[in-house]
Structure 1
Amino acid sequence: METELSGKGVLVTGGAGGIGTAIVRAFKEEGARVAVHYRTNEDKALALAKDVGGVALRADLTAEAEVDALVPAAVKALGRLDVVVANAGHWPSADEPVWQMSLARWRQTMAENLDSVFLTCRAFLRHVATTGTGSLVIVSSTAGLFGEAGHADYAAAKGALANGFLKSLKNELGRIAPLARVNVVCPGWTEVDRNRAKLQDPAFLNRVTRTMALRKVGQPEDVARVIVTLASDRVSGHVTGEVVTIAGGMEGRVLHEG
């Protein structure tokens, strides 16, 4: 299907990560020009940008001034900016229930997963106010829909993105760009470097897929293709304020006994 994304400018935050890399490549396949944002993974970001004929841009998304400079830098490098995918985030690996969690960890997780997206969206929408058009896709998580024991901080941040933030933003967009759109995707278990080793264990795989209608974990490309679809005004031009779950039919209950 023709997406009409060819020639469009796209910024992918966290573009050098597992899902981010798939997103960047998926937009490249549609003929878009892509800016690969990174914070620490410079070598991978530069290599990916070179491979797709794009540009790598560094910014700490928790630093207001750096985010405010990121969007103009993307516009300058790409010649235009039509789509932003707010993909960057951080999952704290330590399992800490609320009664053991420090305020410092809570605030850090909020900064990396909620504040960063607010700043990214704000910077892009200031650009949208000058162009009158734009598509924004925010990457949340099934943790924000079903919760995640030991990671209430992460779940709270991702839940905010998929609920109050999204619903408010899609209505506010009409004030600056009546046809601009914003949507959220919520990936579930997705095979990336961070969890690949664990997912090779049949017992672990069986346990994590017990709440899923499809007994398999997703691939980064599964997420990327949905994001491209939502970003395309031709394909999804009448879709805004929606949450698309990419998790094999995951529910908050056990679907399979074995």
Structure 2
Amino acid sequence: MTLPLSEQTVIVTGAARGLGAAIAMAFAREGAKVAINYRNSREQAEALAESLGERAHAFQADIRDGAAVTEMLTDVTRRLGPPTTVVHNALADFSFNGDARLKLGELSWEAMTAQLDTAVKGALNLIQATRPAMAAAGFGRVVTIGTNLFQNPVVPYHDYTAAKGALLALTRTAAAELGPDGITVNMVSGGLLRTTDASAATPEAVFDLIAGSTPLRRVTTPEEAADAVLFFASPWARAVTGQNLIVDGGLVFG
């Protein structure tokens, strides 16, 4: 079974800003109903929902809290209908500035778990909450957001990269279990994006270096990464699951 994007109801976590907002806008552009999840950025989330029209609404929930995710799902279903698609984009507080990141000798386990709680626990909460309705419909799409630092760990983002690596493992094991229910699970891994709140602290020289190192000679934008997310949700990806698609202008060949 497949559904066109225009008939999907999509939850995008961490969608008030940056890549999440670009993903929400991309789905809305294709006619989908969009649930804009946020944790703290209420003003931005509500402004985005208003700009996207009546088929979009903002929903507050800390995805690390399973009960809050279940409550959000109930609210989304009431307002927009049962979710068919989940994009797990939410990011724990993080700044993409390699010079400011902790080296291994300074890194605490608490810093690691802060990333794991959002990336992996958040994904688990979302999958557990949305699976019953997706399985009943015989259709579901889950897209997680990873990183090209798996292949190219050039900066000491130990906590962030480790959490995203664990999320990739969960993406693949979930794909294996959920496939018989008609649910696909895939990951989109971007590189540094130009520009989001998280990458605003990145020195301009780093952007220029990355641009010069890619075959396309430019830094990928949030809008370009969002289009790859649409692919995994679209009918064209109906036979694709458990995959990690790198979207970084060819900087990394995975």
The TM-score, its normalising length taken from structure 1, stands at 0.87
Residue 80 of structure 2, aligned match among 52, 55, 78: 78
Are 1:186 and 2:189 counterparts?
A: yes
Matched with 1:251 is: 252
Matched with 1:88 is: 90
Matched with 1:134 is: 140
Residue pairs, 1:48-127, within 5 angstroms: 48-53=48-53, 54-90=56-92, 92-93=94-95, 94-127=100-133
Are 1:11 and 2:11 counterparts?
A: yes
Q: Number of residue pairs matched? A: 244
Letter in 1 for 2:177: E
Matched with 1:238 is: 239
Q: Indicate conservation of the 8 Å contact 1:62/1:115, yes or no.
A: yes
Distance, in Å, in 1 between the alignment partners of 2:124 and 2:153 is: 21
Q: Indicate conservation of the 8 Å contact 1:143/1:159, yes or no.
A: no
Q: Indicate conservation of the 8 Å contact 1:211/1:251, yes or no.
A: no
Question: 1:142-171: CA deviations, max 9, x gaps?
Answer: 123433532211101111222x21221111
Residue 149 of structure 1, aligned match among 145, 155, 163: 155
Question: 1:156-212: CA deviations, max 9, x gaps?
Answer: 1111222x212211110134x1x221110001011123334746x3x3333234543
Unaligned residue ranges in structure 2 (runs of 5+): none
Matched with 1:35 is: 35
Matched with 2:217 is: 215
Distance, in Å, in 2 between the alignment partners of 1:236 and 1:99 is: 43
Q: Indicate conservation of the 8 Å contact 2:120/2:170, yes or no.
A: no
**Residue identity (%):** 30
Say which SS state the counterpart of residue 190 (structure 1) adopts. Answer: coil
Distance, in Å, in 2 between the alignment partners of 1:204 and 1:37 is: 31
Unaligned residue ranges in structure 1 (runs of 5+): 253-258
Distance, in Å, in 2 between the alignment partners of 1:222 and 1:206 is: 18
Matched with 1:166 is: 171
Say which SS state the counterpart of residue 34 (structure 2) adopts. Answer: strand
Distance, in Å, in 1 between the alignment partners of 2:151 and 2:206 is: 22
Say which SS state the counterpart of residue 122 (structure 1) adopts. Answer: helix
Letter in 1 for 2:209: R
Q: Indicate conservation of the 8 Å contact 2:232/2:240, yes or no.
A: yes
Q: CA RMSD in A?
A: 2.0
Q: Indicate conservation of the 8 Å contact 2:210/2:251, yes or no.
A: no
Are 1:44 and 2:44 counterparts?
A: yes
Say which SS state the counterpart of residue 116 (structure 1) adopts. Answer: helix
Distance, in Å, in 1 between the alignment partners of 2:252 and 2:5 is: 33
